[in-house]
């Protein structure tokens, strides 16, 4: 907590005033990070000037791909501590799935909106699998791009 307080330029008692425990600080940090990732994914997916495959690839890179390599420990800590984090562990992935489903359902012209949920879940499952198979964001991105092309047809 001393290091965190120093980095935040506040006293340790001030830090404890804001966060009653290390767990509360951890929960707030993870929640903030997930909210930022969701907001970025939402902006990316809403940019209909870009082709859907590019938007999907960029959104998945933001949501999962950037947590590979040096940042891999972050996702491990989140996955290993679901009780500590509370409902955000389940809510954030559901919200991401909804964003992806809505983007797939909305376009491109001629796309079958009835398939949107299946497409989104297939891409999410592929992303989860890739996260455990590759250890750098570039390889993740390359392989997910192939999956997106195959799934979207």
Domain span at residue 121 reads 22-152
* Residue 150: Cβ-neighbour burial (10 angstroms; 0-12, 13-18, 19+): exposed
Rounded distance, CA 20 to CA 14, Å? 10
Is 85 domain-assigned? yes
CATH of the domain at 26: 1.10.357.10
Flag whether 12 is in a domain.
no
Structurally, the chain folds into a number of domains equal to 1
pLDDT score of 81 = 72
pLDDT value of position 12: 73
pLDDT of res. 130: 94
Q: What is the pTM of this model?
A: 0.83
In a domain, 57, yes or no: yes
Residues sharing a CB contact under 8 Å with residue 143, sequence separation 6 or more, in sequence order: 130, 133, 134
**How high is the pLDDT of residue 111?**
73
How many Å separate Cα 91 from the centre of its chain?
12
Burial of 76 (0-12, 13-18, 19+ CB in 10 A): exposed
What pLDDT shows up at residue 15?
A: 67
Domain assignment of residue 74, yes or no: yes
pLDDT in tens, the chain (153 residues): 677 667 667 777 776 777 777 788 878 888 888 899 999 999 999 999 999 999 999 999 999 877 776 556 666 777 777 777 778 878 999 999 999 999 999 987 777 878 999 999 999 999 999 988 998 899 999 999 999 999 998
- The whole-number pLDDT of residue 107 equals 80
Give the containing element (helix H, strand E) for 71.
none
User: What pLDDT is recorded for position 129?
Assistant: 93
In a domain, 3, yes or no: no
Q: Is residue 17 part of a domain?
A: no
* Tokens (6 digits) for 85: 């984090």
């Amino acid at each position: 907590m001393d290091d965190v307080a120093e980095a935040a330029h506040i006293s340790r008692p001030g830090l404890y005033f804001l966060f009653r425990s290390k767990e509360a600080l951890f929960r707030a940090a993870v929640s903030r990070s997930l909210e930022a990732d969701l907001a970025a994914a939402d902006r990316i997916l809403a940019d209909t000037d870009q082709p859907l495959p590019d938007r999907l690839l960029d959104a998945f890179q933001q949501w999962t791909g950037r947590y590979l390599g040096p940042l891999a420990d972050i996702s491990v800590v989140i996955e290993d501590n679901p009780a500590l984090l509370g409902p955000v562990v389940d809510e954030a992935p559901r919200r991401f799935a909804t964003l992806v489903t809505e983007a797939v359902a909305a376009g491109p012209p001629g796309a079958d909106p009835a398939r949107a949920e299946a497409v989104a879940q297939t891409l999410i499952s592929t992303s989860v699998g890739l996260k455990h198979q590759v250890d750098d964001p570039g390889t993740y991105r390359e392989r997910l791009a192939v999956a997106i092309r195959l799934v979207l047809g």
